[in-house]
């Protein structure tokens, strides 16, 4: 009882704070303060979607169409702090806000109507249980709000078993010990798909997801992450 009272009391006298700088948020600031939002290290890959370092990096792994990221990942920078809060500090609203903001940018650059569906990379079920949410799904949700395109969790992770015959070249190369598959009742044939994840490192996970969707007849697959590149 005492704890509940104390929390209510704190909520009342301390307004919401920006998770990056700690400054109090105004009512019109849903997650980040205006200054932090305005100074995010934007990657702008969407401006050269067919020809940027991210697309080039992935071309060896899959028939990549376009790849883009909202912000540049820099160690000890704002992007690292944001991703850490999103993944390990129970802040799903950061994923949603990154999606909402990037969706606005993409819509302003002519991407509205470019995709039929947004599909997040599924999280390992145990991780999702521990975390309580899938950060990539939150990013997909934010994007879908701004772009007016549905976001659906159509992929699932499956463990390799002895009976599953052989790993793909990519899986062997990247030591991916799980496979992705389309959920049984779903159909992606002919769809233009945007697959999204929180961050891109080797690209193995994103490409594994994209290859599955292409194998099930997707028209083409684009990739978008909250953060990419840099050190």
Residues forming contacts to Zn ion in the complex (CB under 5 A) are 18, 20-21, 23, 33, 36
Sign of the CA dihedral with 93 first, then 55, 73, and 201 last:
positive
Between 80 and 128, CB nearer to Zn ion: 80
Distance CA 156, CA 121 (A): 8
Smallest gap, in angstroms, from Cβ of residue 91 to Zn ion?
14
Between 98 and 118, CB nearer to Zn ion: 98
Distance CA 42, CA 73 (A): 9
Smallest gap, in angstroms, from Cβ of residue 72 to Zn ion?
18
Smallest gap, in angstroms, from Cβ of residue 26 to Zn ion?
11
Backbone angles phi, psi at 71, to 5 degrees: -125, 160
Beta bridge partners of 181: 156
Q: Retrieve residue 23's tokens.
A: 């400054």
Between 26 and 50, CB nearer to Zn ion: 26
Contact between 143 and 114 (Cβ < 8 Å):
no
Smallest gap, in angstroms, from Cβ of residue 25 to Zn ion?
8
Between 93 and 222, CB nearer to Zn ion: 93
Smallest gap, in angstroms, from Cβ of residue 29 to Zn ion?
9
Distance CA 8, CA 112 (A): 41
Q: Is 116 exposed, middle or buried (0-12, 13-18, 19+ CB in 10 A)?
A: middle
Between 33 and 54, CB nearer to Zn ion: 33
Smallest gap, in angstroms, from Cβ of residue 16 to Zn ion?
11
Between 37 and 128, CB nearer to Zn ion: 37
Of the candidates 171, 170, 163, 215, the residue with the CA atom closest to the CA atom of residue 193: 215
Distance CA 140, CA 100 (A): 9
């Amino acid at each position: 009882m005492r704890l509940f009272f104390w929390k209510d009391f704190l909520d009342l006298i301390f307004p919401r704070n920006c998770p990056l700088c700690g400054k109090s948020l105004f009512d019109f600031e849903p997650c980040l303060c205006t200054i932090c939002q305005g100074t995010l290290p934007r990657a702008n890959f969407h401006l050269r979607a067919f020809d940027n370092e991210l697309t080039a990096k992935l071309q060896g792994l899959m028939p990549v169409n376009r790849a883009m990221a909202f912000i540049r990942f820099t160690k000890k920078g704002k992007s690292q702090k944001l991703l850490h809060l999103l993944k390990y500090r129970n802040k799903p609203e950061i994923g949603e806000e990154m999606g909402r903001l990037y969706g606005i940018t993409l819509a302003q650059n002519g991407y509205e109507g470019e995709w039929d569906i947004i599909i997040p990379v599924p999280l390992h079920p145990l991780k999702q249980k521990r975390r309580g949410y899938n950060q990539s799904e939150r990013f997909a949700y934010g994007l879908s709000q701004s772009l007016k395109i549905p976001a659906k969790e159509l992929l699932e992770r499956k463990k390799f078993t002895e009976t599953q015959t052989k790993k793909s070249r990519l899986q062997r190369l990247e030591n991916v010990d799980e496979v992705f598959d389309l959920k049984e009742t779903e159909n992606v044939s002919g769809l233009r798909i945007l697959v999204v994840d929180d961050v891109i490192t080797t690209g193995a996970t994103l490409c594994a997801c994209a290859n599955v969707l292409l194998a099930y007849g997707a028209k083409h697959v684009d990739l978008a992450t909250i953060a990419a590149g840099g050190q």
